[in-house]
Chains A and B, each alone.
Chain A
Amino acid sequence: MRLTNQEAFEKYASEAQERWTSKFGGDRWVINVGISECSKAKGALDTWSNLQLHLDNSGLDYELHQVGCAGWCFAEPFIEVFAPDSPGIVFQNVVTDLVPELVQAFKTGDFPVEHAMGVRGDESFKGIAPLNEHPFLKGQHRLLFKRAGEIDPDSIEEYIANGGYAGFVKALLQMTPEEIVHEVKESNVRGRGGAGFPAGIKWESGRRTQAWPKYVVANSHEGEPNVFKDRRLIESDPHLVLEGLMIACVALETPHGYNYIGGEHVLALARFQHAVDQAYELGLLGDNVLGTGKSFHMRVRSGGGAYICGEGSALMYAIMGERGQPRTKPPRSVEEGVWRRPTVLNNTETYAAVPSIINNGGSWYASIGTEQSKGTKLVTIQGPVARIGVAEVDMGYSLRSLIEDIYGGAKEGYTLKGIQMGGVSAGPLRMDQLDVGIDFESLEEVGAMLGSGGFVAFDESICAVDFARYLTQFNRYESCAKCTPCRLGNKALLEIVDKVRNGQSPNEVAALIEATSENIIDLSLCGLGQVAPMPLLGMMKAFPDEFEAHFRDGTCPQGQCPVSQPKLRLEPVAAD
């Protein structure tokens, strides 16, 4: 079906809404199973087929649906059960072995409290507390993740039934491109990839450039070793990102949109491509969209596993089928980007915020967050904490509260030592430094960095020197080798750290590290090199005693570095 005008879209939307509300009424059991990359890894597909088997045998009248991931990785695989005349109940860690027990209980009208995570709505139900009061969700403010885990990511109809594409239709039919840019500017939404550049200003300069064609590109590369927010967002609600991109196309008056997704995000790639296909089918993409005479086209491009391709100019070279190596700036990408044409490039999360800005107005969005950092931020945390997952909090939310309340503090048997901030581009914060807000300015003040919102908790058993070596090694490996300071400087830095780890610190090693770092920071061409030594310098600042022990005594207090290992013996593979 192809929608040819606004009335047709509105008719489709209201029908979709009706179908959505009638889905949960009646005498049928509706069961949603969260299927995403992380739940698949934990056996969600087995849960799915076992549910099917047992529900078939139980004689219950049921429907099984796929939904995306809701950010609660710790609770995967999860199912949500809508019994007749009951609110939705989320059950956590429903591994396939648990299915028979659960189905048996459902048959007798019983909902096992011990496996339940919570119930939708504000009131308790049969002893199960509301989901919103679950410690993981209580402090969160879900704007982008609003639909995640509730709708089928492969269904454009369910997205539209829940208010989807209303922002695109409004932008296309009721607003001038200038008005769209004005709203985005007023919202002051800033680049979520880490740089924090205001998106509205970028869009405005994109409009001002007089060269055609222009391109709109989403950066969903997400190659950092500790972030998975964009991937989960696309896996759970691909149309939200697509809608944001399409609104940017309307604002820039260009038909050309791209989404560059990292090649390792297999499911996200497939779901986004599917979303694009559905939008074409419905006539939201293509030529003469909704009878306006305007065209919008979207291309999905995938990367090949190079971290550097998350850098703006490298990403554009990657799209153009070249080795993804950055170039000097200016010209900036809004002047010369993909195919040397004006290109507006934003992070996936930035685009995902746009539909709600158009629907509710820029000033509404600007009322969320702090003075200078607006809106909500998706954050992910990894390491030994009680609950791992993607959380969405207001900018300025306390980091301590995030770690201790939402993520539940240290996992049993672990004592946290610090939090590595800003991916691989900044230093860590010690546990006594956590009383700081999560926003661009506050974190910069304490010498950390918001980055793309990936935090890694590490415990007392981790040696700061070894961890710093890991982070330096990552940057060295991922250096694209185009400019010498980054290619050779990081290698030199790694060699120094390796000597330290082996208990053979050269004289004045701290000064040597600082001087080498300074050269790399000052002389490198792109953002990767300019921040590559930061984790090492940050670690040195945060844990000076540990570094001192390595430098002076040649010992590793944590016993992790080679200096304290028993002599390694080589054992060749036994021939058989």
Chain B
Amino acid sequence: MAHGAPASEIDLQPLRTILEDRYNPENYQDSLELIVQACQEAQHLYGYVPKAATEAIAEHLGVSTNRIFGLLTFYADFLTDEPGEHTMLLCHGTACYVGGSQKLVDHLDLRYDVTSGKTTRDGTLTVQIVNGCLGVCDLAPVAQLDHHDYCGHLTVESFEGLMDTLRSESKAATVEDSDETD
């Protein structure tokens, strides 16, 4: 899964292929039913739903982009801004709250000025705070990194450790053009 592809480098071809393969509405009613899922495909491909993708979806399904944006801004799962290098789903369900996830939410806000859907200033991490439940309460408080790795029993310290790892990874990747890391 690609994350954070810049708007200029969005390749719409994979999305168009998926839409043509699996999203073939018989009528307008079907088109409307398929919008949310089509947007999920786009988010899966690009890490967020870029404007170009909404236009492609609108064109394919024969609906207006306004309607699509109406849905994207209502449903919490969708990101409409380009995310950072990594995406974290931080579970803030009741079990995680009892386990101390509120401390993490506050920490993110105070130290990184990050609320749900926002990215740290250095572009390392986008956090989505999941108000529902990730369903892995045995590991509470838990977060899911880049949609497959789970980090369980999180504390502020272990979260900072994770951030350090992520930052050093990204530094290693961009060591050659170090001018860009301010």
CA separation between A351 and B139, bound complex, in Å? 30
**Shortest beta-carbon distance from B47 to chain A in Å:** 15
The segment out of A13-21, A49-57, A172-180, A218-226 that lies at the interface is: A218-226
B152 neighbours in A (Cβ, 8 Å):
41-42
Bitwise interface map of A from 174 to 198 toward B, beta carbon under 8 Å scored 1, else 0: 0000000000000000000000000
The A-contacting residues of B in range 1-60, CB under 8 angstroms, are: 29, 31-37, 39-40
**Shortest beta-carbon distance from A487 to chain B in Å:** 14
* B93 lies within 8 A of A38 (CB): no
Interface residue range, chain B: 35 or more
The segment out of A96-104, A278-286, A297-305, A522-530 that lies at the interface is: A297-305
Of B31, B32, B76, most A-chain CB atoms within 10 Å:
B76
CA separation between A41 and B152, bound complex, in Å? 9
* B133 lies within 8 A of A76 (CB): no
**Residue A511 CB within 8 A of the other chain:** no
**Residue A2 CB within 8 A of the other chain:** no
CA separation between A226 and B67, bound complex, in Å? 32
Closest to A75 in B: B138
Bitwise interface map of A from 546 to 576 toward B, beta carbon under 8 Å scored 1, else 0: 0000000000000000000000101111011
* B138 lies within 8 A of A226 (CB): no
The A-contacting residues of B in range 129-151, CB under 8 angstroms, are: 130-140, 142, 144, 150
Bitwise interface map of B from 101 to 133 toward A, beta carbon under 8 Å scored 1, else 0: 010000000111000000011100000001111
Question: Are A323 and B136 also in contact (CB < 8 A) when A225-B92, A226-B95, A573-B112 are?
Answer: no
Closest to A471 in B: B94
Identify B71's interface contact among A38, A323, A423, CB under 8 A: A323
Closest to B103 in A: A560
Of B29, B70, B77, B122, most A-chain CB atoms within 10 Å:
B77
Question: Are A307 and B29 also in contact (CB < 8 A) when A42-B139, A226-B93, A462-B98 are?
Answer: no
Bitwise interface map of B from 62 to 91 toward A, beta carbon under 8 Å scored 1, else 0: 010001001100111110000000000000
CA separation between A384 and B96, bound complex, in Å? 10
* A299 lies within 8 A of B33 (CB): yes
**Residue A324 CB within 8 A of the other chain:** yes
**Shortest beta-carbon distance from B38 to chain A in Å:** 10
Closest to B94 in A: A226
Interface size on A, residues (CB 8 A): 66
* A307 lies within 8 A of B33 (CB): no
The B-contacting residues of A in range 443-474, CB under 8 angstroms, are: 454, 456-459, 462, 466-467, 470-471, 474
**Residue B159 CB within 8 A of the other chain:** no
**Residue A320 CB within 8 A of the other chain:** yes
**Residue A92 CB within 8 A of the other chain:** no
B135 neighbours in A (Cβ, 8 Å):
37-38, 228, 231-232, 265
- A41-B136, A42-B150, A305-B76 are known contacts; what are 19 more A-B pairs with Cβ within 8 Å? A41-B152, A42-B138, A223-B132, A226-B95, A228-B135, A301-B37, A302-B36, A304-B77, A306-B74, A321-B33, A321-B34, A324-B75, A384-B98, A456-B98, A466-B102, A467-B98, A470-B94, A470-B97, A573-B122
Chain A residues with a Cβ under 8 A of chain B = 37-38, 40-42, 73-74, 76, 222-228, 231-232, 262-265, 299, 301-307, 318-324, 339, 380, 382-384, 388, 420, 423-424, 454, 456-459, 462, 466-467, 470-471, 474, 477-478, 480, 568, 570-573, 575-576
